[in-house]
Amino acid sequence: MLMEDLFERLKKFQELLLERVALEEEIHQLPKSIAAQEEVLTRARKAHADKAARFEEVSTKVSELRQNLTDTMAQREKSEQQMDSISSPREFEALNKEITEAGQREDQFRKELKREEENFKEAEEELKAAVTLIEAQEQEIAEKRARIKNEESDMNARVKKLRAEETKITNGIDSEVVFKFERIIRSKQGIGIVPVRGTICSGCSMILPAEFVNEVRQSNKITFCPYCSRVLYYQEGEAQDEYLVDIESGSLADLDDFGDEGEDEGYDGSDDIDSGKDDMDGSED
Ligand SMILES: [Zn+2]
């Protein structure tokens, strides 16, 4: 495979991969978009449980009071009937007292009942509102889920298509190079293949040793930048010869110290340099 052809393929692969990585991230984020609504729903359900408990409590109180009122009224009516058949003033006194007291209890129960019936109405409305809120949230979430599912299946279909194209475009390229290239793209904000301009890696702006640049220029295998690990290709520039003359030849070890200060903040230590070196040294040994 011609190097030019290889570089073109890597560039195309990079495009496909970038789109796929972005899509995969988007797919990953999709469920998070309904997390806030699910939180609202959880709170609404908890509020509903509290309202339901209060409604239950007030209902019980109301029916107890109603029962008490009915019982007291029946008791009073019974006493009133007995009035017809009293035979002594003492009996009258006793019955009269019972009737009066029953009447007082009735008044008390009516008062309490009125208050509790108001509470009942309030609790009933609050419960209804809580149910409505839950239903609205559930519906909204269900609709959003359906939308997300549609989007997701569209995106997954696109991912599948991209993968197929990737497989096609990388056919014939060393699988280790493909694997490495993919890793670089994922960790270097999407740019995995960059030109060397003069003696500078345009990916990380580090100055490369002249000897190394010559290797890139003449090499018939993939070369990785020792600083940012990107794949390098040589781009003919107007000032290239000038650059080559100006740069003192130095070893990579001399440049190691600049690593941490390089413009490329994604530079992550010696691993990249080592792996880069391995590739530069080649596999002849
Ligand atoms: Zn670089």
Chain segment 199-232, per-residue pLDDT in tens: 999 999 999 999 999 999 887 788 999 999 999 9
CA of 21 to the centre of ligand 1 (A): 22
Cβ pair 174, 35 in contact under 8 A = no
Cβ pair 163, 20 in contact under 8 A = yes
CA of 28 to the centre of ligand 1 (A): 30
CA of 231 to the centre of ligand 1 (A): 8
CA of 26 to the centre of ligand 1 (A): 28
Mean pLDDT, residues 71-87 taken together? 92
- Of 132, 155, 136, 156, nearest to 144 by C-alpha is 136
The two tokens of residue 135 are: 């239903």
Beta strands in 64-207 (DSSP E): 193-197, 200-201
Look at residue 51 in the predicted model and tell me its pLDDT: 97
Look at residue 190 in the predicted model and tell me its pLDDT: 76
Q: State the Rg of the chain over Cα.
A: 42
CA of 252 to the centre of ligand 1 (A): 12
Q: Looking at beta carbons, which pairs linking 60-65 to residues 24 or more positions away fall under 8 Å? A: 61/116, 61/119, 62/113, 62/116, 62/117, 62/120, 65/109, 65/112, 65/113, 65/116
Residue 260 per-residue DSSP state: G
Name residue, tokens 């295998």.
Answer: 221
Residues paired with residue 195 on neighbouring β-strands, in sequence order: 233
CA of 139 to the centre of ligand 1 (A): 52
Distance between CA atoms of 265 and 13, rounded to whole angstroms?
Answer: 24
CA of 285 to the centre of ligand 1 (A): 25
CA of 12 to the centre of ligand 1 (A): 20
Distance between CA atoms of 165 and 20, rounded to whole angstroms?
Answer: 11
The dihedrals phi and psi of 283, each to the nearest 5 degrees, come to -110, 15
pLDDT interval class at 279 (50, 70, 90): very low
pLDDT interval class at 1 (50, 70, 90): low
Distance between CA atoms of 283 and 279, rounded to whole angstroms?
Answer: 7
CA of 260 to the centre of ligand 1 (A): 13
Look at residue 237 in the predicted model and tell me its pLDDT: 65
CA of 182 to the centre of ligand 1 (A): 16
The two tokens of residue 80 are: 């009133």
Q: Where are the domains of the chain?
A: 27-167, 174-281
Name residue, tokens 């003696």.
Answer: 199
CA of 180 to the centre of ligand 1 (A): 15
CA of 276 to the centre of ligand 1 (A): 10
Tell me which H or E stretch contains 279: helix 270-281
Cβ pair 234, 196 in contact under 8 A = yes
Mean pLDDT, residues 144-164 taken together? 96
CA of 257 to the centre of ligand 1 (A): 15
Strand order in the sheet with 193-197: 200-201, 193-197, 231-234, 223-224
Q: Who's near 211: CB < 8 A, 6+ residues apart?
A: 249
Residue 95 has pLDDT above 70, yes or no: yes
Look at residue 257 in the predicted model and tell me its pLDDT: 42
Range 27-167 has CATH code 3.40.309.10: no
The two tokens of residue 81 are: 């009937």
Dihedral angle of Cα 254, 260, 261, 264, to the nearest 10 degrees? 110
